[in-house]
Amino acid sequence: MMRARHSVRDYTGIPLTERQKDALRAAIAAAKSPFGGTVDIHIVTAGDAGTFSPTTYGMIRGARDFMLLGIGPDRNSLLSAGYIAERAVLEATAMGLGTCWMSGTFSKAEFSKAADFTAGAPLTVVIAMGVPAARKSFVARAAGFLAGSDGRKPYGDLFHNTDGTPYVDDGSPVAEALEMMRLAPSGVNSQPWRAIVTGDSTVRFFAKAKKPTAFIDMGIGLSHFMLAAGARGLDGTLAAEKPQPAAPAPDLEYIVTFSPA
């Protein structure tokens, strides 16, 4: 599902079924973020009596269903939002649905009318979901191009050994889990995920965080990492080390460490 997922900006207009929405809610409920914080997720359908008219500035066409994310302003809430909601995105992908995370190209005022958000966790991100239209519209192709969707940074630019040399994808469980992180979605395809791998599969994660949404991207990438590691039998936990490990570059911020069980 992580390999199959890509951002879809063109939909057929067919709304999700109740069963599909229940499956998404179950994925959200099952996702246990290690970061805590405040995340308030609503699944809403446009066009139902008394609901809202989604405004995405023409970026998304034909979507009827949206996941709305109310997120606390702190780093842990942003990390958790990415970590939890991406599980629903992958569940949607498994059901053959398209998705597109959006932190910029939607009207907050309009979408905020669609649900009651927990105090202190205002609407920050929406995720469009639905049956993908067969052909990509010009707008969708241009949006994908502008967002750099087709480009991913090379593996060795993101992940390193403790001596600073590029970590090589040797097909091991930790290497595959990092590859799944590399394929995650991120705002304007900024790919803020960085990691240093030690010999025993301990992985220290850092973010190149130019904007707060980079922490959402980090949560998404860590969600991929943990799912992929678990699927390959590499169990372990994510926790912050104290004292905090030094960042390998001044523009990187330490996030968390994966310790194998």
- Binding stretches for ligand FMN (CB under 6 A): 6-7, 59, 100-105, 125, 143, 147-149, 185-189, 213, 216-217, 220
Q: For ligand FMN, give the closer residue by CB, 15 or 82.
A: 82
| Closer residue to ligand FMN in complex, CB, 79/147 | 147
Token pair in block for residue 22? 């229940």
Nearer to ligand FMN, 149 or 259 (CB): 149
Residue 23 or 85 having the CB closest to ligand FMN: 85
Q: How far apart are CA 219 and CA 124, in angstroms?
A: 15
Smallest Cα–Cα separation from 222: which of 83, 109, 23? 83
| Shortest Å, Cβ 237 to ligand FMN | 24
CB contact set of 261 (below 8 Å; sequence gap of 6+) = 235, 236, 237
Q: Point out the residue whose Cβ comes nearest to ligand FMN.
A: 185
The least distance separating ligand FMN from the CB of residue 189, rounded to whole angstroms, comes to 3
Compare residues 15 and 98 and give the one whose CB is closer to ligand FMN. Answer: 98
Q: Least distance in Å: CB of 215 to ligand FMN? A: 9
- Residue 185 CB, shortest distance to ligand FMN, in Å, is 3
Minimum separation from the CB atom of position 103 to ligand FMN (A): 4
Phi and psi dihedrals of 8, rounded to 5?
-110, 125
Instruction: Find the shortest distance in angstroms from Cβ 104 to ligand FMN.
Output: 3
Nearer to ligand FMN, 95 or 248 (CB): 95
